[in-house]
Amino acid sequence: MKVDAEVKSRVLELHKIINEHSYNYHSLDNPTIEDSEYDAFFNELLELETKYPSLSYSHSPTQRVGSEPLEGFNKVDHLTPMLSLENAFNTKDLEDFNKRILERLISQTEVNFSCEPKLDGIAVNLIYKKGYLYQATTRGDGKIGEDITHNIRTVSSIPLSFRESKIKAPSLIEIRGEVFIDTKDFKEINNKAKFNSEKIFANPRNAAAGSLRQLDPRVAASRPLKFFAHGMGSIDFGKGTSPKTQKEVFDSYASWGLPINPLAEQANDINECISYFKKIEGLRVQLPYEIDGVVFKVNSFKMQESLGQVSRAPRWAIARKFPAEVGSTKVKSITVQVGRVGSITPVAEFEPLNIGGVVVSHASIHNFDEIERLDVREGDTVQIKRAGDVIPQIIKVDLSKRKKDSHKVETPNTCPSCNSKLVKLESEAILRCNAGTNCPAQKTESIRHYVSRNALNIDGLGERIIELLVKKELISDFSDLYTLKKKDLLGLEGFAEKSASKLLTSIENSKETTLSRFIYALGIREVGEATALNLSLNFQYINKFLLASKEELIEINDIGPIAADHIFNYLSKKGNQNQIKKLLKLGIQLQEVKIQSDNLFSSKVVVITGSFNNIARSQLKEELIRSGARVSSTVSSRTDYLIAGEKPGSKLKKALDLGIEVLEEDNVLRILKQ
């Protein structure tokens, strides 16, 4: 059907009218028209789109209403990682954070900060292209999330397209923020669920997460989800000017129609940050939503770039957490848990206790020295706190309520899983079982680690299923996963044709992975994700890694003598070598680690100093390692090149004194691109 220009103009006008009033209502909490008027505009648009399907655009306000359910969630790589935040639990932690910043920013005596409440919601990443919502994903593991665009489109406070603004919209931008549910709305959701004999949610965060983790967007559309934007990932302004501060980002977001927490403020120094925290702490109980702390970020992006990041967290931001909430309950039992690498941890089970909206019933007591210090016993009444509002912890025993016939908890001599003798090293506070995978508990935990999200990422293999597979002797190590047959699974409780096929497909898909994920999945002591990446970049091939000497390991940046010992000892065991070779025979394919070896930096020792305009320090470091360089943190006579950015500091002077060649950013980037 041919569309009249006047009709098209009216449709676009209705977009503008409806979006403007939605912004006033949902973002500013300041409605300017009656609901009946809004409904009239909405229905008019709906009728025109029904009559003229070609005018039903993906960014239309009518597209917020849930569409048909999806079959599954697609994995999506974030353009830039969604990092975690370092935590501060007291004023001294904040002051130390400020001190570290000033030590790194040598020429600065004071730093401005952006301050905002830390919502207890679900982190999401929104991608807008040319001002239109293109994609939305969950945080996931920080590098890879799940596509939830179908659900995010239903959140009224998230614009499907930017408002007209004097501030030019970029051609592409990643907007980070938090999806949450107000406390009042959460209570209404649970009241309705109770009335309908449906499952109730433990807290607003779970309700928000449950809403976004739905394949059917009509569920999310029925929930009162809200959103505050708080950060930025990748941005492409073309020839335009990108924001230079966090404040400029917030100003841009507000002008484009994105909701910003109205309590966000600027602080001129760390003392103002401390005052801001006290203010928000006092307001906490009055707020319509749950928060678990306050986030402070260095305001200047140039300073952020100079500060860089550690493995999974930026050096320029910190979350000041509220003091943990405390509750009282009775200990039912104290049992022993065996960890993946043999650590023996006492765990207290107590009568369920609601702390800060979360029901807890277990707490780790770290080690048996801690049990002795607390003198906690079965049957005791204890005080529990959620450390950092997350991990339950016993802080005190109420001795006035202790029964006279109570008995001290005895430190075990043997492993509760395999009966091996336990050992305790002088350098450690914990007991260990050294039976390795001959211990059923360690076997189960090591397989759990191998299949976990950041390792081989095998969906559908939870603790219960792994324990069942081990108990039925269907698996005893990693390689057995790849010999499982459908008939093996169909004989187990909880498996049907579809679920068995799904698990086997997930196992098959895990065969293609990266060397760093594979090394991490092996579960070597002291080898986390960052160390696994370092190992993969340095050795490039699994066969070279298997032949690594202790000296080679110690030479790798960020790997100390203790970690090198654990890695070397792991590789020295014939059983571990055979396990890895068996996995490769069964079809594990490791993607090639691409490292250039025919350039200026190959086999050279390189030091980086200062800040850079066109590349993050962490990215530059990784690119150099991929080019065959060994990146060091200190300048010495062994240094081949110093790469100097802006404000290079004392390293530049030392390099010049030693006659070391100094390279500038533009030259380095040109060499890396060759």
Q: Please report, for the domain that includes residue 332, its CATH number.
A: 2.40.50.140
| Residue 145 DSSP SS3 | strand
Q: Where does the pLDDT of residue 70 fall: very low under 50, low under 70, confident under 90, or very high at 90 and above?
A: low
Band of pLDDT at residue 64, cut at 50, 70 and 90: low
Q: Which long-range contacts (CB under 8 A, 24 or more apart) does 98-102 make?
A: 98/269, 98/270, 98/273, 100/315, 101/298, 101/303, 101/307, 101/315, 101/316
What average pLDDT does this structure show over 223-231?
95
Q: How much is the pTM?
A: 0.55
Q: Classify residue 514 by burial, with Cβ atoms within 10 Å: 0-12, 13-18, 19+.
A: middle
Domain annotation covers residue 252: yes
Smallest CA-to-CA distance from 118 within 326, 264, 327 is with: 264
Per-residue pLDDT of 183-211, as tens digits, reads: 889 988 887 876 666 677 878 888 999 89
Cα 517 from Cα 458, distance rounded (Å)? 12
216 lies in the same domain as 150: yes
The confidence score (pLDDT) of residue 385 equals 82
Q: Which of residues 400, 424, 446 is at a domain's end?
A: 400
Mean pLDDT of 517-528: 91
Query: Is 118 noted as a catalytic residue in this protein?
Result: yes
Q: Which residues contact 186 (CB under 8 A, 6 or more apart)?
A: 201, 203, 204, 207
pLDDT at 33 over 60: yes
Lowest mean pLDDT among 32-46, 139-153, 155-169, 623-637: 32-46
pLDDT tens, residue by residue, 618-653: 678 767 877 777 777 778 888 899 999 887 877 888
* Range in 46-55, 162-171, 337-346, 363-372 with the lowest mean pLDDT: 46-55
Asked if residues 384 and 350 have their Cβ atoms less than 8 Å apart, the reply is yes
The confidence score (pLDDT) of residue 2 equals: 62
Residues 296 and 445 in one domain: no
Beta-carbon contacts of residue 519 (< 8 Å; ≥ 6 apart): 527, 532, 535, 536, 545
- State residue 332's pLDDT score: 95
- Which residue in 669, 625, 622, 674 sits closest to 643, CA to CA? 669
Q: Given CA atoms 271, 274, 278, 283 in this order, what sign does their dihedral have?
A: positive
Is residue 76 included in any domain, yes or no?
no
Which stretch, 99-108, 403-412, 630-639, has highest mean pLDDT? 403-412
What pLDDT does 164 receive? 85
Is 666 inside any structural domain? Answer: yes
Average pLDDT score over residue span 477-483: 94
| pLDDT number for residue 299 | 96
Residue 188's SS3 state is: helix
* Structural tokens at position 304: 């952020």
Between CA 538 and CA 144 the distance in angstroms is 24
Q: How far apart are CA 401 and CA 62, in angstroms?
A: 61
Token duo for residue 152 = 């995010």
> Could you give the C-alpha distances from 486 to 435, 466, 481, in angstroms and in order?
31, 15, 12
In a domain, 288, yes or no: yes
Mean pLDDT (the chain, rounded): 87
pLDDT for residue 152 is more than 90 = yes
> C-alpha dihedral over 238, 243, 249, 253, to 10 degrees?
-40
Q: What's the mean pLDDT in 215-229?
A: 92
- The pLDDT-based confidence of 8 (bands split at 50, 70, 90) is confident
Q: Is the pLDDT of residue 75 over 50?
A: yes
Q: Do 469 and 529 fall into the same domain?
A: no
Q: What is the pLDDT of residues 562-604, one digit of tens each?
A: 889 999 999 999 989 999 999 999 999 998 776 666 678 887 8
Q: 495, 510, 525: which is the final residue of a domain?
A: 510
128: left (phi over 0), alpha (psi -120 to 50) or beta: beta
Q: Which residues contact 180 (CB under 8 A, 6 or more apart)?
A: 119, 120, 121, 122, 204, 205, 208, 225, 226, 227, 228, 289, 290
Residues 489 and 532 sit within 8 Å (Cβ to Cβ): no
| 293 and 216 inside one domain | yes
The pLDDT of 382-396, averaged and rounded, is 77
525 falls within a domain:
yes
CA-CA distance, 9 to 305, in Å (whole number)?
45
477, 482, 486, 490 alpha-carbon torsion, rounded to 10° = 20
One-letter amino acid at 315 equals R
Phi and psi, residue 549, nearest 5°: -90, 165
One domain, residues 468 and 485: yes
What is the domain range of residue 537? 514-591
Whether pLDDT at 485 is above 90: yes
Q: What is the 3-state secondary structure of 217-279? A: HHHHHCCCCEEEEEEEEEEECCCCCCCCEHHHHHHHHHHHCCCCCCCCEEECCHHHHHHHHHH
Beta strands in 388-525, from DSSP E residues, in sequence order: 391-397, 422-423, 431-433, 512-514
CATH classification at residue 578:
1.10.150.20
298 and 335 in a common domain: no
Q: Looking at 8, 92, 118, 143, which residue is catalytic? A: 118
Burial 70-79 (b: 16+ CB within 10 A, else e): beebeebebe
Residue 419 has pLDDT above 70, yes or no: yes
Determine the straight-line distance between the first and last CA of the chain, rounded to whole angstroms.
54
- Alpha-carbon distance of 652 to 638, in angstroms, equals 15
CATH code of residue 46: 1.10.287.610
Answer yes or no: is 172 within a domain: yes
Q: Are residues 518 and 569 in the same domain?
A: yes
So what's the pLDDT on residue 310? 76
Residue 329 has pLDDT above 90, yes or no: yes
- Cβ atoms within 10 Å of 615's Cβ, excluding its own: 16
Is 418 inside any structural domain?
Answer: no
Instruction: Count Cβ neighbours within 10 Å for each residue of 154-186 and write b for 16 or more, e otherwise.
Output: bbbbbbbbbbeeeeebbebbbbbbbbbbbeebb
The letter for the amino acid at 65 is: V
Residue 480 in 3-state DSSP?
Answer: helix
Q: What angle do CA 524, 525, 527 make, to 5 degrees?
A: 70
Q: Above 90 in pLDDT, residue 27?
A: no
Q: Which of 276, 295, 321 is the last residue of a domain?
A: 321
Q: Is 493 found in the same domain as 523?
A: no
What confidence tier does 386 reach under pLDDT thresholds 50, 70, 90? confident
Mean pLDDT of 596-621: 80
Out of 24-28, 77-81, 180-184, pick the least confident.
24-28
pLDDT, one tens digit per residue, over 253-297 is 999 999 999 999 999 999 999 999 999 998 888 899 999 899 999
Per-residue pLDDT, 142: 84
**Which one is predicted more confidently, 120 or 673?**
120
**Model confidence at 242: pLDDT above 50:** yes
Q: How many domains does the chain have?
A: 6
Kindly state whether residues 570 and 618 are assigned to the same domain.
Answer: no
Residue 577 shares a structural domain with residue 613:
no
Same domain as 119, residue 247: yes
What CATH number should be reported for the domain holding residue 203? 3.30.470.30
Please determine, for residue 434, whether its predicted confidence score (pLDDT) is greater than 70.
yes
Looking at the chain, the whole-number percentage of residues with pLDDT higher than 90 is 45
Regarding whether 504 and 540 lie in a shared domain, the answer is: no
For residue range 301-326, what is the model confidence (pLDDT) as tens digits?
999 999 988 767 899 999 998 876 78
Strands 431-433 and 641-644: unpaired
**Which amino acid, 569?**
N
Asked if the structure places residue 429 within a domain, the reply is no
- Is the pLDDT confidence value at 66 over 50? no
